[in-house]
Amino acid sequence: MHDERPPKGSRGKKGRRRPPSDPRHPACWPTWAGLGLLRLLTLLPVPALGRLGDGLGLLLWALAPGRRHIVRTNLQLAFADRTRAERRRLERAHFRSAARGVLEGALAWWAPIERLTPHYTVEGLEHLEAAREAGRGVILLLPHHTTIEMGGRIISHHVPDFHPSYKPTKDAAFNAAMVRARSDSVAGLLRSDDMRAILRALRSGGVISYSPDQDFGRQGTVFAPFMGVPTSTLTMTARLARTSGAPIVPLHCRRLPGNRWHVRLEPALRDFPSGDDAADAARINRVIEEQVAQAPEQYLWLHRRFKTRPEPGAPSPYRKAGRAASGREAPGSGG
């Protein structure tokens, strides 16, 4: 039996109980139940999963005002030139895309690849092979689109020496399931903070993925334009390329009508890194912007991408979540 009493030191700074580290802990059972339900849903036909995702996405949009506020704030910042009505349509489309992404992630984790192959196409593998010629491995730039799990699963079928990187989650059960499911189809799974393991994989000629487009605060970042907004951007992408000598190949998995996915690999970035952290971060952000322009609803707008501001102490643009819960925008925010 598991001792449900929190071990010594298991409370955070504000007295909140830390999540258990053992995935077998009773506190993790709801997560296991949810994962079990997701796995059962993968038995549905792919078109049925798509329709279910659309419905669940609209339900989430209606019932999660906090998340709706995050997405709404992101879209106001990133698409200030669009009208309010256009942003509202994009907002709802994003929730549908995000819910589809969760169900597609379950397919990516647990469905056999033979079930997925009729539903996807891949373009640009020749760019990956050209990048390999340097003999120093390849870094796949894999931004946080709602198709990220499916994109990783598809590319792993075509790249036997693929080593995706990941950030461990606080939920021990979810983390254990994620590591096991992703590990089944790849050459190796790498923690995104384990630079030694990442460099070893590259020096052995392997292909890794790296997803730098989240807000990690001020440490190891510079402010570079993203969607017209000064955005905290990791410098690690350029550092990794400089240290390893590995070229960076952008990858984009886009969801198409008809319950299909298209994975496109672009030519390796030329003259990268430049040695200028700010210029290199801006270039990475431009690559991601070009992908966002192709399917803006499929980018992960649920993340607080613009939380850290250039001015120390500046308020977060997401602070007015309470007011957004009533469905109203801040004064002057309409398009």
Task: Write out pLDDT tens, residues 71-111.
Answer: 999 999 999 999 999 999 999 999 999 999 999 999 999 99
Instruction: Please report the pLDDT score of residue 15 as a whole number.
Output: 56
Residue 5 pLDDT greater than 60, yes or no: no
Residues 150 and 121 sit within 8 Å (Cβ to Cβ): no
CA–CA separation, 310 and 48 (whole Å): 45
User: Which value, in Å, is the radius of gyration of the alpha carbons in the chain?
Assistant: 20
Say which residue, 11 or 47, is predicted with more confidence: 47
Residue 16 has pLDDT above 70, yes or no: no
The span from the CA of 255 to the CA of 151, in Å, is 10
Q: Is the pLDDT of residue 12 over 90?
A: no
pLDDT digit string (tens) for 247-296? 999 999 999 999 999 999 999 999 999 999 999 999 999 999 999 999 99
Helix (H, G, I), strand (E, B) or coil at 210: strand
Compute how many other C-beta atoms are within 10 angstroms of the C-beta atom of residue 26. 11
User: What is the value of pTM for the model shown?
Assistant: 0.89
Find out whether the peptide bond into 273 is cis, omega within 30 degrees of 0. yes
| Res 325 pLDDT > 90 | no
pLDDT at 329 over 80: no
Contact 181/226 with Cβ under 8 angstroms? no
DSSP 127-150: HHHHHHTTSS-EEEE---BTTHHH
* 137, 190 Cβ separation under 8 angstroms: no
Residues 6+ positions from 106 with CB-CB distance below 8 Å? 38, 39, 41, 42
Q: Give DSSP secondary structure letters for 214-269.
A: S---STTEEEEEETTEEEEEESHHHHHHHHH---EEEEEEEEETTTEEEEEEPPPP
315, pLDDT greater than 70: yes
Using one digit for the tens of pLDDT, what is the confidence trace for 102-154? 999 999 999 999 999 999 999 999 999 999 998 999 999 999 999 999 999 99
Q: Which residue has the tokens 């709404």?
A: 72
Identify which of 190, 71, 84, 69 has the alpha carbon closest to the alpha carbon of residue 139.
190
Return the residue matching tokens 């109980």.
17
Average pLDDT of the segment spanning 12-34: 84
| Helix extents (H) in 159-235 | 172-183, 195-203
